[in-house]
Chains A and B, each alone.
Chain A
Amino acid sequence: MSEKVLMKGNEALAEAAIMAGCKHYFGYPITPQTEVAAYMAKKMPKTEGGVFLQAESEIAAINMVIGVASTGKRVMTSSSSPGISLKSEGISYLAGCDLPALIINVQRGGPGLGGIQPSQSDYFQATKGGGHGDFHLLVLAPNSVQEMVDMVFKGFDLAEKYRMPAMILSDGTMGQMMEPVSLEKGVVNEYDKSWALTGTKGERKPNIVNSLYIAPEELEKLNFERYERYKKIEAEEALYEEYLMDDAEICIVAYGVASRVAKNAIDQARAEGIKVGMIRPITLWPFPKKVLSEAADKVNKFISVELSMGQMIEDIELAIRCKKEVLLCNRTGGMITTTEDVLNKIYEANGGKN
């Protein structure tokens, strides 16, 4: 573990991207992710071969990402909720073209212009597509500044391994808060990039990066193939953290900042003798279905703690096939659930205090 430094989440994430060998960043100002762009603007020109470009729109930025990704190079863009909606067209094209890229969403409240305070209400958008067509994004959900760093390496690696876009689904708290962080270089493996547009040099047939298939049989075949890849990802890449689940009778499911609030509540409830634990999804897609399904045979109730009107709760219910009741503990619009909110929901699940 290298020496720890005190850094803002957005800046630590940007530094990690440069460490991961990302030399191209395209962005557009929007709160609360602007520090990512500001950091890149400062650092990329000092990095050999580094390119920072402020695009005319989020739409242009994601299409610049497509341009670099098509040449096989590591590339990143970042935005916040309304900006991610604008990028959704390009995200669908990235998926349709089988291009790897890393997209950062530092979520704020919605819908519409919403607000600028932290939120988790883009869960559906991130995990169910976020653009048109049959596709998935790899979705990573950090709950600390350290994970903002670690997930950059993981995100690039998974994106390039499976040739698909990856998203770090962060939120305003993760982006804005400062925490001690170890800036240690993670692993991004090298994968075959013979598909990349590098110029034929007159030595090979042209490479084509494309998502248009006029013959429906052909498009269906490619979608089937893509979903075979997704199956493999669901089987092999789901990440989660368990907290005090061994003897748990109540299972909280929470990710990102909500998981930190939930942890405080769990500690208090445990002190009062209530057997409650947590499964924290680290990947939201693939969703850690297996561990939840297994937990459904052991616990009495689930609680989904999330900063939305209840989006992840649907995936929990699906994962456990509605075997047990799932309660919702939520705030939204930029409001954050308190420890007390979660504690009260634990009492409700427990049938009162012990």
Chain B
Amino acid sequence: MVVFEKPNALTENTLHYCPGCTHGIIHRLVAEALDELGVTGRTIGVASVGCSVFTYNYFNCDMVQAAHGRAPAVATGVKRSDANNIVFTYQGDGDLAAIGTAETVHSAARGENITVIFVNNAIYGMTGGQMAPTTLPGQKTQTSPYGRDVQTVGYPVKVCEMLSQVDGATYLERVAVNNVANVKKAKAAIKKAFQNQIEGKGFSLVEVLSTCPTNWGLAPEKALEWLEENMLPYYPLGVYKDKYAEEK
């Protein structure tokens, strides 16, 4: 009896992520959702720029690689080309919440019927650990070596809270993958974000709090603790908007 196997929606390629990084878990959750919903064959994914730039090698569906921050605009084109396409973007916090803020807000405002997987690890990972729009106050990074000083560089952007004010958005939830219970909740949220699209309900975004042991300078288990102690209080988990639940 098979008790555990790789989802069909993941390719055989070996992930390039650092040891302890939670991208691998999130990839698996997306792939499981696609398989369980039976839509992998009509799914087109949009890869972004950052650590997730190579996702086109990992998801076993048609993929297009977008410029930094532009994934929701590319996804808009793919979806508007054929409404039967199941379209998702997989973006990090630098990509989605800094350079791609306009594309994010306006695809939500238009109510684009797409699914956005937003991985927030409070840092630019691929380029070696610079301050992100989501870097916490006081957090040390390569470009905030004395800690993020909110007096000079301002405050982090809370994406789910911000988008909850956008009428066009359908479903916004923040989850984490720091323990088994939260991984299960994350899976349910991601699946719901795809289910919404299948049902034509509009823009769904799942923000997944993730670790970056390498650039945080912490061992994987310490990184999980850091996430729990620092990120969870600043970025509370939960559903920020569920248009259809409200209407029931």
Contacts and interface: CB of A to CB of B under 8 A. Distances in A.
Interface of A: 24, 26, 51, 53, 55-57, 59-61, 63-71, 73, 75, 89-90, 93, 97, 197-203, 206-212
Nearest to A209: B64
Nearest to B59: A206
Given A53-B80, A68-B81, A209-B65, A63 B74 contact: yes
A197 B102 contact: no
A233 to B, nearest CB: 25
A66 B40 contact: no
B85 interface: yes
A66 to B, nearest CB: 5
Contacts of A63: 66-67, 70, 73-74, 76-77, 103
Interface stretch (B41-49, B152-160, B177-185, B220-228): B41-49
Contact of B81 (A57, A71, A93, A202): A71
Given A64-B80, A199-B61, A202-B41, A93 B106 contact: no
Contact of B80 (A68, A202, A203): A68
Given A206-B60, A207-B62, A67 B73 contact: yes
Contacts of A70: 44, 64, 74, 77-78
A82 B138 CA distance: 39
9 contacts: A59-B103, A60-B70, A64-B76, A90-B67, A197-B78, A200-B61, A206-B62, A210-B65, A211-B65
A97 B64 CA distance: 9
Contact of B73 (A59, A201, A206): A59
Contacts of A197: 44, 62-64, 78
Given A63-B73, A64-B77, A71 B44 contact: yes
B247 interface: no
Contacts of A93: 66-67
Contacts of A200: 40-41, 60-62
Contact of A55 (B57, B66, B73): B73
Contacts of A55: 73, 106
Nearest to A200: B41
Interface in B25-59: 40-44, 46-47, 53-54, 56-57, 59
Nearest to B71: A63
A234 B152 CA distance: 54
B80 A57 contact: no
B31 to A, nearest CB: 13
Given A56-B106, A206-B60, A71 B78 contact: yes
Contact of B77 (A66, A202, A212): A66
A208 B63 contact: yes
A57 B54 CA distance: 27
A51 B42 CA distance: 21
Nearest to B70: A63
Given A63-B67, A66-B66, A199-B61, A24 B80 contact: yes
Contact of A198 (B53, B54, B62, B66): B62
Contacts of B74: 63-64, 66-67, 70
A65 B78 CA distance: 9
A67 B80 contact: yes
B24 to A, nearest CB: 19
B199 interface: no
Residue among A97, A202, A209 with max Cβ neighbours from chain B (10 Å): A209
A206 B70 contact: no
Given A60-B73, A64-B73, A208-B62, 17 more contacts: A24-B81, A26-B77, A59-B73, A59-B103, A61-B73, A63-B67, A66-B64, A66-B66, A66-B77, A67-B81, A70-B74, A70-B78, A71-B85, A75-B77, A93-B66, A199-B42, A210-B56
